[in-house]
Amino acid sequence: MGEYLKKYFALRKHNASTAWKKAKLAKNCYLFLLPYAVIFCMFYVYPVVASIYYSFTYYNILESPRFLGLANYISLVLEDDIFLIGLKNTLVIAIITGPVGYLLSFLFAWLINELPRAVRSVAVVVFYAPSIAGTCYTIFSVFFRGDAYGYVNSFLMDLGIIEQPILWFVNPQFMLPICMGVILWMSLGTGFLSFVAGLQGVDRSQYEAGMVDGVKNRWQELWYITLPNMKPMLIFGAVMAITQSFSQHDVCAALCGFPSTDYAAHTIVSCLMDFGFQRFEMGYACAIATVLFLLMIMCNKAIQSLLRRVGT
Amino acid sequence: MSRKAKAKTKETYYKPYHKPLIRRRRPNRSVGGDVGLYIFLILMAIVMVFPLVYAVANALKPLDELFRFPPKIFAQNPTLDNFSDLFVTLGKSWVTFTRYLFNTIFITFAGTAGHLLIASMGAFVLAKYDFPGGRLFFKIVTVAIMFVPAVTQVPNYILLSKLGWIDTYWSIIIPAFASPMGMFLMKQFMEGLPTSLVEAAKIDGASEWKVFTGIVMPNVKPAWMTLIIFQVQALWNNNGGMYIFSEQKKTLPYAMGQIQGGGIARTGQGAAVTVVLMIVPIAIFIFSESQILETMASSGMKD
C-alpha cells in the first residue's frame, strides 16, 4: 500500500513538473488568453461562486453580509408563495416552450434545407428574424388589446365566438398561454441557425448510399442518416433552448406588466429581479439565482445524456 | 452487334452538351410531399413575418391611420413623419433622442470591437496550442453558455458597484467583452483552420502576434461576422438594466419604453422606435447570412 501511494505521488509530481515546464514554454499563450480570462472570471465565474456564498447570508449591499445558514432556502420553499408561483410558471414555460421550440427549430431547419438555394436563404431570414427583432414583441400588445378595438377581440366578436372583449393581459387565464405563444414565435434562434448550418454540412454521398441500401422516404432518411450526423448540433441547440426557456422574464414583463395580475406571469427571473433590484435583499435574490442555476445545469445534463442516444 | 445491345448503348449514351430542362429530382422525394412542404412553409412564413411587417407598416402610417378601425395593414399615405418626429419632439426634451441613439451606438460599437479582439485572441491559443489548463478553461466557457444571464446579475451588480462602474458605460461594455458564446464559436471555427498554416509561419520566424494578426484573423472572417451579429443583437437591445440610472446615459430600448408609455399622442413615434431597434440586427444578418451559416456549421458540442 505504502509503495503504491509512493508511486502514485511520484507520478503526480512528475506530471506536475512536466506541466509546469510546458506552461513555461507556453508563456505567450497565457498572455494571449489573459485579457479574456480575467474578464470572464470576473463576470461569469466569480458571480456563480459569489452567488452561492451570498445565498447563505442576509446582504443588502450597505451592511456587510450576515451569515444565516439555510434560512433563505427554507423560507423560499416553505414561506414564499410568490416564489412557488414563479417556479411553477417557469417550469410550465420551460416544459412547453423548451421542447416545442426545439422541435420547431429542427423541423423548420430540416424543411428549409429541402428548398433550392436562393429560396433557402430568404427562408432562413424570415424564420430567424423574430428572434433578433429586439423588442418587436411589444407589437403583440396591440393585437391583443383589451378593448373591443383590439384586433383579436374584434375578430372573435365578429365571428360571434365571444360576446364581450377579453382583457387578454389582465385575465390570469390567458396571460401565460399568450406569453408562451410569443416566446414560441421568438424561439427560432441560435439553435435554429446551428441546425440549418449542420444540415448543409451532411455529406451528400451518404444519402445516395442510403438510397442504395434501401432508404424509402424522407422520414427514414432523417432518422437513419441526418440525425446521427447532426448530433453535435442537436446538443448545442438543446443547450440554447434550455437556457432560453428558463430565462424568460422580459416578454412576460413587457406584455403583462411587472408584477402581473395575481402573479400569473411571474417567473423565477421576475422574483429575482424583484428581490435583487427593488427590495435590495441580495442574499435572498442569490438564493433564487442558485436554485435557478442548479435547475438548469441538471436539466442540461439530463437532456444531453438523452440526446446521445439519438440514432443508435 | 445484336440489336438489343445497340439499343442499350443508345440508352446509356451521355450527352454533356444537352442539359435537361428539369433537373433530376433528389432521391427519396415525392411530388406530393414537396407541394405540401411549400404550402406549409409559406403559411408558417406568413405567421412568422406578419408581426414584423405590421410593425414596419405601422411606423409609416400617419397618426389618423394608426387609429383607423377596422385597421388596414398597409398605410394608404405612407410618410416618414414618425421618424422625423422622433428628432423633433424629443429634440426639445431634457435628454434628446440623438443622445439615446448615441449611447446605444457607442455601447454596441465599443462592446463589439473589444469582444471581437479579446475573444479571438483567447480562441486562437485555445484552438491552435496545447498548453496546461487550456482545455479545462474551454470546458468552463462551454458551461458558461448555459448560464441564464439573471443568475450572474446580482453578484455582478455588487462587483460593479465596488469597482465604481455603476452608472457608466463600462458597466455594460466590459462584461460584454467576455461573452462565452462568441468565444465558443470562434474557437470551434479556428479549429477547422489547418494547423500546418500556423506551423509554416512559425518556421518562417513569425511571432505569435504576427501569426494571429497576419494569418489566422484574415482567414476567419466568417466567424468575425458571427461574433458581431450576436454581440450587436445583445447590446443593441440592452436597456441598461439595473446598471445605468442617470437619464443622459440611458439607451434606446429604455427610451422606447418611455415613448410607448407616453400615451396615445406618441403611438406613431413608438412604432418608429420599434423599427429602428429591430432593423439594425436584421440588416446585419441579411448581409452576412452565408458567413454566419459557415461559422455555425462548426458550432456543434461534442459532449
pLDDT digits (tens, 9 = 90+) for B32-67: 888 888 899 999 999 999 999 988 888 888 877 877
How far are the Cα atoms of A32, B216, B224, B225, B296 from residue B220, in angstroms, in the given order?
17, 6, 7, 9, 13
CB-based contact (8 Å) between A219 and chain B?
no
The CA-atom distances, in angstroms, between B123 and each of A84, A231, B212 are 41, 23, 10
Count of pairs with CB atoms under 8 A, one residue in A, one in B: 285
**Residues of B with Cβ-Cβ distance to A35 under 8 angstroms:** 118, 121-122, 177
Contact by Cβ (8 Å): B27, A207: yes
ipTM value: 0.86
Residue to mutate among B153, B154, B299, with most A CBs inside 10 A, is: B154
Count CB neighbours of B77 within 10 A.
Answer: 9
What residue of A is the nearest CA neighbor of B119? A36
Of the pLDDT bands very low, low, confident and very high (cuts 50, 70, 90), residue B15 is: low
**pLDDT above 60 for B8:** no
If you average pLDDT over every residue of chain B, what do you get? 83
Which residues of A are less than 8 Å from B233 in CB distance? 132, 134
Which of A:163-182 have CB within 8 Å of B? none
The residue of chain B with its CA nearest to that of A112 is: B41
Contacts of A114 in chain B (CB under 8 A): 26, 29, 34, 37
Q: Which residue type sits at A94?
A: A
Interval A48-105: pLDDT, tens: 999 999 999 998 888 888 898 889 999 988 988 999 999 999 999 999 999 999 999 9
Chain B residue nearest residue A253, CA to CA: B257
Q: Per-residue pLDDT for A127 more than 90? A: yes
Nearest-by-CA chain B residue for A281: B154
Using one digit for the tens of pLDDT, what is the confidence trace for B102-143?
999 999 999 999 999 999 999 999 998 888 888 999 999 988
Residue position matching grid coordinates 421618424: B83
Q: Is residue A43 part of a domain?
A: no
- Window 93-152 of A: residues touching B by CB (8 A cutoff) are 108, 111-112, 114-115, 121, 123-130, 132-140, 142-143, 149, 151
Report CB contact under 8 Å: B303, A126: no
Interface check for A291 against chain B (CB to CB < 8 A): the answer is no
Half-sphere exposure of residue A163, counting CA atoms within 13 Å on the CB side?
Answer: 0
Tell me if A60 is assigned to some domain: no
Task: Give the mean model confidence (pLDDT) for residues A218-234.
Answer: 86
Residue B90 has pLDDT above 80, yes or no: no
Q: Across the interface, do A135 and B253 touch by the CB < 8 Å criterion?
A: yes
Closest CA to B115 of B157, B163, B174, B171: B174
Strand, helix or coil for residue A219: helix
A59 belongs to a structural domain: no
The percentage of chain B sitting over the pLDDT mark of 90, rounded to a whole number, equals 20
Helix (H) or strand (E) holding A58, with range, is strand A57-58
Report CA torsion sign: A286, A289, A291, A297: negative
Q: pLDDT category, B1, cuts 50, 70, 90?
A: very low
- Going from the C-alpha of A155 to that of each of A158, A180, B19, B74, the distances in angstroms are 5, 21, 53, 18
Residue recorded with cell 465599443: B110
pLDDT (tens digit per residue) in A164-208: 888 888 888 888 999 999 999 999 888 999 999 988 888 888 888
CATH of the domain at A213: 1.10.3720.10
What architecture is the B97-296 domain classified under in CATH?
Orthogonal Bundle (1.10)
Q: Where in chain B are all domains bearing CATH 1.10.3720.10?
A: 97-296
CA distance A59 to A125: 46
In whole angstroms, what is the distance from residue B106 CA to residue A86 CA? 36
In a domain, A250, yes or no: yes
**A46, A133, A135 ranked by CB distance to B52: nearest:** A133
Burial (CB count <10 Å: 0-12, 13-18, 19+), residue A71: middle
Domain that holds residue A204: 80-307
- Assess contact for A126 and A213: CB atoms under 8 A: no
* Residue B17 predicted with pLDDT over 70: no
Q: How many domains does chain A have?
A: 1
Contact A235, B300 (CB under 8 A): yes
CB-facing half-sphere around the CA of B93: CA atoms within 13 A: 18
Residues of B in Cβ contact (< 8 Å) with A44? 144, 147, 152, 178, 180
Strand A57-58 versus strand A66-67 pairing type? antiparallel
In chain A, residues with a C-beta closer than 8 Å to the C-beta of B297 are 197-198, 200-201
Contact predicate B150/A272, CB 8 Å:
yes
Decide if A237 is inside a domain. Answer: yes
Q: Which of these, B105, B230, B215, B222, lies nearest to B180 by C-alpha position?
A: B230
Å from B51 to nearest chain A CA?
7
Instruction: Tell if the CB–CB gap between A19 and B132 is shorter than 8 Å.
Output: yes
Q: Does A284 touch chain B (CB under 8 A)?
A: no
Please list every residue in chain B whose beta carbon sits closer than 8 Å to the beta carbon of residue A269: 148, 150
